[in-house]
Structure 1
């Protein structure tokens, strides 16, 4: 298998697993609908997910990468829907709505900049940096609970299926970026791989029973 064939294979598998990863958010949304409240959950994963996928969609359009365009169109649509549902059921609607509207304005600002920038290389550079930063923020969102996990020596509060999918997805996109010689794709996914790998390590260290608890959801 030559480099081009491997790149195409990675593009297909990475797109499939990434879409499944984004669909994992439906599990959280189903619980919210059942309880008719978001409880203590944060809207940050959905909002940062929307910002990240929206930025990568713009990046994919600039470099004309079909895989990035496809997967981030789906990702941005799903995260937009998740954020709307979260806002509807949130007990802090004003705060969540402000954050959500702010994220939409940010995406529109980026798209407006791309449309008016005459130097394509400059556009690629800046939106690449933006997409990297937002992706790192998206991957780092679950880290807010790691201090609690370490303190109580239990990983029950961590969403095992989502973390496992993040680990698989980031490995694939890292190697895809490596084959494209694209550091904007490589760097955030390498970091995401380390972050999700560390969280998986916590499951192994603190509680094997935690993994068993989440086993029915591992097919996602």
Structure 2
């Protein structure tokens, strides 16, 4: 008989696979950088915030001993770090990218240091889980909203060229799945950011309809 536990496992596996595919969609964006030889007008913030978000979620996964969250975010943190390195290599504003990533590292160190304190007692562990969970919510919402940093540019040029469509589309699908999983395990820290992620990424997808990419006509030989 199909039980709630079976449903939970099914959603966990499905969400994990789709999340890893979402993280891998960043390779398509990086491939475009390599082909062009430049990052162009694209902001590094989505990749940097993604690196920070997955790292903090990884810590939360260890605190609540949720293996799906640990696995997914271990892979995610590794991939996003690679994306940041790639972005840095092809960026014309390397100092700005380096400064943003340094802030990311300092914030992560502060969170990891704090979360390792006061976990000796059950009460202390619960408080730490709640606070790290709150930080995870904030980080996730920032990550989901990160492509909005290019919003003014999109409106100005009336083209969604600078927005990473694969990443945003994958975010929408994955957010819906993790929201469902959060409901199944009754974890509000999983529910809230993924509900917001579905809403924010859905709004970003509308930009591709309002401001479609402008394709240059092929040059006649």
TM-score (norm 1): 0.86
Gaps spanning 5+ residues in structure 1: where?
214-220
Alignment partner, residue 74 of structure 1: 75
Alignment partner, residue 102 of structure 1: 103
How has the CA–CA distance of structure 1 residues 153 and 33 changed in structure 2, closer, same or farther, with 3 Å as cutoff?
closer
Q: Give the paired residue count.
A: 209
How has the CA–CA distance of structure 1 residues 11 and 30 changed in structure 2, closer, same or farther, with 3 Å as cutoff?
same
Task: State yes or no: 1:6 paired with 2:7.
Answer: yes
How has the CA–CA distance of structure 1 residues 92 and 124 changed in structure 2, closer, same or farther, with 3 Å as cutoff?
same
Deviations 1:16-75 (A, max 9, x none): 000111111111211222233222221101110011000100000000000000000000
Higher helix proportion:
1
Alignment partner, residue 131 of structure 2: 126
Deviation at 1:164, TM superposition (A): 1.8
Deviation at 1:205, TM superposition (A): 5.6
How has the CA–CA distance of structure 1 residues 51 and 81 changed in structure 2, closer, same or farther, with 3 Å as cutoff?
same
How has the CA–CA distance of structure 1 residues 153 and 31 changed in structure 2, closer, same or farther, with 3 Å as cutoff?
closer
Deviation at 1:204, TM superposition (A): 4.6
Alignment partner, residue 172 of structure 2: 167
Distance 1:146 1:9 in 2: 36
Gaps spanning 5+ residues in structure 2: where?
216-221
Alignment partner, residue 144 of structure 1: 149
Alignment partner, residue 219 of structure 2: none
Task: State yes or no: 1:63 paired with 2:64.
Answer: yes
Alignment partner, residue 216 of structure 1: none
Deviation at 1:2, TM superposition (A): 1.9
165-174 or 108-117, larger mean C-alpha shift: 108-117
127-136 or 138-147, larger mean C-alpha shift: 138-147
Equivalent pair of 2:29/2:164 in contact (CA under 8 Å): no
Distance 2:15 2:56 in 1: 18
Distance 1:143 1:17 in 2: 23
